[in-house]
Amino acid sequence: MIEVKVIADSINQDGNRLTTLQLKYHRFFHSEVMTHRVFSRNASSSRAIPVKKMLAQVWSDPATPLSWGSNQAGMQAGSPLEGVKLCLAKGLWKWAGRAMCGVAWGMMKIGLHKQVANRILEPWQWIHVVLTSSEWGNFLDLRAHPDAQPEIQALARGIKLALDSSAPKKLTPHQWHLPYITHNECGYPIDTQKQMSAARCCRVSYLRHDGDMPSVEEDILLCKRLAGAHPIHASPFEHVARPYQPLFDKGGDQRNFRGWVQYRAEVEREVSSCSK
């Protein structure tokens, strides 16, 4: 089932809104989401999730098409299949996923790494994504349109509903948009909160892959590993941001956001200065 959850929702003094969403959707249309360059995003990876866990998901809860349209010329399907043809289509999709589970299981048993074994399961995988943006209009215009694939239409409609239902928190110029930081964690120093937020955006969750809650020290350690990697793993730092201040900030620090300075700009400057 497609899921959309607002993780953080902020608005600056100029009315620029920045929203972070946690999403779950069919992996087979993830490439279409990736084409929108105004988005900052991190996603669960087939290289990171154990094969056993992926096998269990594909076997018991495969990502399944929402529409079973008949074949015709062009990118849009024809009228929905009915009766025996519909049952066969659904059965073949499920059977194919379970057949690939057998193949992936065999790859796991001979010791093949998950970055290979998990790949053949991707058409039936759900993908978990943290996505942050200050601009949604183009995505919603294109993807909520009747010509779009039904699954991404459902995602776009869910995102629009979530945005319409959420009330952004107004931030002053020195406050930060901090996805995954809870109210009880606001007492930590702001630099600690920024590191914790970036680490959790990297994991696309408050939790680790084993389902346990990480300690603050583990979050900070992950953040330092990301910043200290060669090359730097910078994308998780994009979700953390503060309002843009024209008199003090460089315009380029907004990157793909409008009216917000990304934590990534700060981290990259620190890394650059340390390397000199």
pLDDT digits (tens, 9 = 90+) for 140-149: 999 999 999 9
On whether residue 19 sits in a domain, the answer given is no
C-alpha separations of 92 from 97, 229, 237, 268 in Å = 9, 44, 42, 49
Q: Give residue 116's pLDDT.
A: 97
On whether residue 133 sits in a domain, the answer given is no
**Do 195 and 270 share a domain, yes or no?**
yes
On whether residue 66 sits in a domain, the answer given is yes
**Mean predicted lDDT score pLDDT of the chain:** 93
On whether residue 65 sits in a domain, the answer given is yes
Q: Give residue 251's pLDDT.
A: 75
Rounded to 10 deg, the angle between the 263-275 and 216-228 helix axes is 60
**Do 179 and 268 share a domain, yes or no?**
yes
**Do 251 and 179 share a domain, yes or no?**
yes
pTM, entire model = 0.93
On whether residue 17 sits in a domain, the answer given is no
Could you tell me the pLDDT band of residue 228, with boundaries at 50, 70 and 90? confident
Q: Give residue 276's pLDDT.
A: 59
Rounded average pLDDT over 21-50? 94
| Count of domains forming the chain | 2
What is the rounded CA–CA span in Å between residue 106 and residue 45? Answer: 21
| Whether 19 contacts 168, CB under 8 Å | yes
Q: Which helix (H) or strand (E) holds 91?
A: helix 83-109
Domain of 229?
A: 173-275
On whether residue 167 sits in a domain, the answer given is no
**Do 116 and 205 share a domain, yes or no?**
no
Neighbour-count burial of 105, counting CB atoms closer than 10 A to its CB (0-12 exposed, 13-18 middle, 19+ buried): middle
**Do 201 and 266 share a domain, yes or no?**
yes
On whether residue 196 sits in a domain, the answer given is yes
Rounded average pLDDT over 85-104? 98
Rounded average pLDDT over 133-159? 97
The rounded radius of gyration (Å) of the Cα atoms in the chain is 21
Q: Give residue 230's pLDDT.
A: 84
What is the rounded CA–CA span in Å between residue 176 and residue 178? Answer: 6
Q: Encode pLDDT of 160-190 as tens digits.
A: 999 999 999 999 999 999 999 999 999 999 9
On whether residue 218 sits in a domain, the answer given is yes
Per cent of the chain over pLDDT 90 is 83
